[in-house]
Structure 1
Amino acid sequence: MNEKEWVSPSQIAMLLLAFTLGSSIVFIPGPVIAAAGNGAWLSVIISGAAGIPGLLSILYLHHIYPSKSSFQYLGDVFGKWMGTLFSLLILFVLILMISNITVGVGSFFSSTMMLETPTYVFNFLILMVCALTALAGIEVTARLFVLFLMMMLATIFVILFLDLGKYHPDNLLPQLAEGISPIMHGAIINHGFPYSEMFVFSALLFFIRPAKNESTGKFMFFAYFANMIIFLGVVLCASMIFGKAAGTRNFTLYEMARVIEITGVFERIEMIAGITLIAGSYIKSTIALLALSSGFAHIFKLKDSRTVILPVSLLMFFISMSMFSTEMESNTFWTLIWPAITTCATIPIVLAAVVTLIKNAFKGS
C-alpha cells in the first residue's frame, strides 16, 4: 500500500466537493425535476439532509480509526468474515459506479457533440485517462483536481449568470400541486446521485495528514453544504428557464448553456458546459478508482495498490460497453436502481459507526 502519501483536510474537502458535483451537476437536475416538478428544490434539500448521517458516520469512524480505511475497520467492527463481505459489496458498487459514469460520458458525446463516433472510443479514453491519473497517486490527484474544480465552478457560475435574462420565476409555481410523493421521488433520485455515494471517502480519509489546526469535519461539511447550495441553484435556474420542459432535458447544464446567445459576444457556449461534464466525470471516476484500488490492496494484501488500476480499468471498459442496450435502460438504472445500490453500500458504514458508538459508550460507563 502507498500509505506514505498524504493529503491535507482542506484538500480532501475539495475532493469531496469535486466528487459530489462531478457528473451529477449535469446529469441529475433533469431527472429530479421530471420526478418532482416545481418542487425539485425541496427534493434537493431533503436528499441533502438525508445524506448527513452518512457523512457523520464516515467522519466518526475516521476519528476512531484515523490510520485505517473502511476496508480495514469494517473487519474490526463486524469480524473478519462479515467485514470482508461488506468490503466486497463496496468494491462491487465502486466498479458499477465507475462503469456507470463512463456510460454517461459516452452517451453524452454520442448524442450531442460527436454523433458519428463510436461510443467505445469515449468510454476507453475516459477510463484510460482516469487510470493514468490514479497511477500518479492521491497527492498528485488532489493538487490537480483543485484546478479542475475551480474550472467547473467558474463554468457553472458563468452559465447561471449569462442566463439571467431568461429566468421566469412564475415557472416555479404552483408548489406541492401533486402532494409530497413526487418530491420524495425526486429526493430519492438525488440522494442516490451523489449524496449516498459519499461512502467512497470512507476508503480515502486515512490518507489525511494529521493536523492540529485543521478540522477535517468542518472542511468536509463546508464542502457538503457548498454542493447543496450549487445544486439547489442549478435546479431552480433550470426550472425558471425551461418550466415543465426542464424534466425532459437529459443534460440540464448543457441545455442551459445552449440557450445563451449574445450575438457577436457569446455563441455556442454549450461547449464549455460540455467541458464541465467531461471534467466532472473524470474527477469522480478517478476518485472512485483510487478508493477501488485501495480496497483491493487492503482486502487482498497487495504491497502496491497501483498494480490493480489498469486491469480493473480494462474490466470496467468492457462492463460499460455491455451494461445497457438502450438509453432508456440506463436512465431507469440511474433513477430507480442506483439509489438502492448506493444506499446498500452506505448502510455498513452507518451500522459500523452505530456499533462503535455503542461499544465506546459501554466502555465509558
Structure 2
Amino acid sequence: MRQKENVSPKQMGVLFFTYMTGSSIINIPSPLIGKAGSDAWLSLLISGGLGMGLLVCMLFLYRRYPSLTYVEYSRRLIGVWPTAILSLLPLSFILQMVTGIVLDIGLFMQSSMMRGTPVYAFSLPILMVAALTVRAGIEVMARMFAIIIVLVICSVTVVLLLSLENYNWGFLIPVMPHGIKPLLHGAFFSFGFPYAEIFLFAMLLPFVRERSSGELNRTMFIGLIWNIITLCISIICTIMMFGPLAGVKKYSLFEVARTVEVQEIISRIESVMGMSLIAGSYMKATITLYVLSLYVSQLFKLKNYKVIAMPLALVAFLNILVGFKSDMDWTELVSVVHPLWVSVSFVFPLLLITLVALFRKPPS
C-alpha cells in the first residue's frame, strides 16, 4: 500500500501546514479571544510551543521506525491487544473530528450565508467529496491541497491588508490586565485545537518518499512555525479591528471581511472569506478522514483503506444528524470537552509510546 503511494518531504510539510491552518485560521480567533482577551496571541505562542514538543516526539518515533505508522510501531512496542485498547479513544476522537469539521461548515453556512437551509444539505456533499478525495490517495491530496492552501492564505492576506485603516493598536494593551489565568485558559483551549491534533501525522510520515529525516524535520518545523505566525497575525488583526467585541463574533475574520470597503469599488467581499473557510475545512476533513480510514484498516488488518472511506464518511454524516441538537451543544463541546478529550486521546498515547521507545533497544 505505502509502496505505491508516497510524497516528498516538502509535500508532507505542505499537508501539515494545510491541516494545521486550514480551518483554524477562521475558527480559532473568536473563541480564543473570548477566553484570553487581548492576550490571545500569547496563549497561542504557549500552545504552539507545546505543539512543538509533540512534534519532537512524533519525529523521534519516525526516525526510530521510518517505515511504520503509529499503529504498526505501537504493536511492536507494547503488543497487539494493548495497542487495540489504547486505540479506542483516538479512533473515537478522530471520528468526532471528521464530524465536527464538516458540521462547522454547515453551521457557518446556515448562520452566515444561507439562513434556513438545513445543515445536512452542506454536510453530505462535503463528506462525499472528502471520501472521494481520500480514495484518490495521498499523492493527489498533496498536489491539490498545495494549490488550494495558497489561494486560502492569499484571500485572508488580502482581506487583512484591506482592513489596515480600521485597525486600532490600542486594543492590544495592556498586557495581561486580568493576570495569567485567562492566558493559561486560552493556551489550554488552543492546545486542544489545533496543536494536539499533530498526533494524526504519526500515521502519515511513513508515506514520505525520501528517507532524509533531516529534511523532513526541517520541513515539518517550518510548517508549524508558519502556522503559529499565521494564526497570531489573524488573531492580532481581529483584536485591533473589534477590540473587546472580538470574542463575541463567532467567525471574526468573516466579520472583518464585511467591514472592507475601498472607494465603493471593493466591498462585500465576505463571500471570499466564506469560501476560504469552506476550502480550509474541506482539506482538514479530508486529511482527518484519510487518517481515520488508514487507522481502522491497519488496526483490523484490512487490505485496503480506501474501501472503508465512504462508509466512515456515512457514519460521520449520521453522527451529524443525531449527535447535536443545537449550535450551543456544539459550542459547549468544543470549548469544554474537546481540549480534555484530545489530551487523553492523542497526547497521552503519543507520550506513552515515546517513553516506551526510549527504553527499548532501537531496531537494527
TM-score scaled by structure 2? 0.97
Deviation at 1:212, TM superposition (A): 4.1
1:109 equivalenced with 2:127 (yes/no): no
Distance 2:95 2:144 in 1: 23
1:347 equivalenced with 2:323 (yes/no): no
Structure 1 stretches of at least 4 aligned residues deviating more than 6 Å after TM superposition: none
Letter in 1 for 2:341: I
**Secondary structure class of the residue paired with 1:215:** helix
Deviation at 1:322, TM superposition (A): 2.1
1:87 equivalenced with 2:87 (yes/no): yes
Q: 1:270: which partner in 2?
A: 270
Distance 2:160 2:264 in 1: 20
Q: 2:152: which partner in 1?
A: 152
Distance 1:335 1:215 in 2: 36
**Residue by residue, what CA displacement relative to the aligned partner does 1:217-260 show, whole Å, maximum 9, x if unpaired?**
10000000000000000111100100000000111211111111
Distance 1:310 1:100 in 2: 17
Q: 1:81 to 1:213 in 2, by over 3 A?
A: closer
Q: 1:53: which partner in 2?
A: 53
1:128 equivalenced with 2:125 (yes/no): no
Deviation at 1:151, TM superposition (A): 0.6
Letter in 1 for 2:188: I
**Residue by residue, what CA displacement relative to the aligned partner does 1:72-110 show, whole Å, maximum 9, x if unpaired?**
111111221111122232221110000011111110000
User: Superposition pairs for residues 237-276 of structure 1, below 5 Å?
Assistant: 237-276=237-276
Calculate percent identity across the aligned residue pairs: 37
Structure 2 unaligned blocks of 5 or more: none
- Bigger shift: residues 146-155 or 77-86: 77-86
Q: 1:249 to 1:143 in 2, by over 3 A?
A: same
Distance 1:193 1:3 in 2: 32
**Secondary structure class of the residue paired with 2:266:** coil
1:337 equivalenced with 2:337 (yes/no): yes
Q: What do you get for the CA RMSD once the two structures are aligned?
A: 1.6
Letter in 2 for 1:242: F
Letter in 2 for 1:316: A
Deviation at 1:264, TM superposition (A): 3.5
- Bigger shift: residues 220-229 or 341-350: 341-350
1:171 equivalenced with 2:171 (yes/no): yes
Letter in 1 for 2:251: F
Deviation at 1:175, TM superposition (A): 1.5
- Conserved in 2, the CA contact under 8 Å of 1:35 and 1:186? yes
Q: 1:223: which partner in 2?
A: 223
- Conserved in 1, the CA contact under 8 Å of 2:69 and 2:202? yes
Letter in 2 for 1:194: P
- Conserved in 1, the CA contact under 8 Å of 2:2 and 2:207? no
Q: How many residues are paired up?
A: 363
Structure 1 unaligned blocks of 5 or more: none
1:210 equivalenced with 2:191 (yes/no): no
Distance 1:53 1:169 in 2: 32
Distance 1:352 1:215 in 2: 24
- Conserved in 1, the CA contact under 8 Å of 2:66 and 2:211? no
TM-score scaled by structure 1? 0.96
Deviation at 1:213, TM superposition (A): 9.0
Deviation at 1:165, TM superposition (A): 0.4
Q: 1:72: which partner in 2?
A: 72
**Residue by residue, what CA displacement relative to the aligned partner does 1:146-200 show, whole Å, maximum 9, x if unpaired?**
0011011101211111111011000112211111011111111111111001111
- Conserved in 2, the CA contact under 8 Å of 1:53 and 1:350? no
Q: 1:232: which partner in 2?
A: 232
Letter in 2 for 1:349: L
1:12 equivalenced with 2:48 (yes/no): no
Deviation at 1:211, TM superposition (A): 4.3
Distance 1:359 1:303 in 2: 29
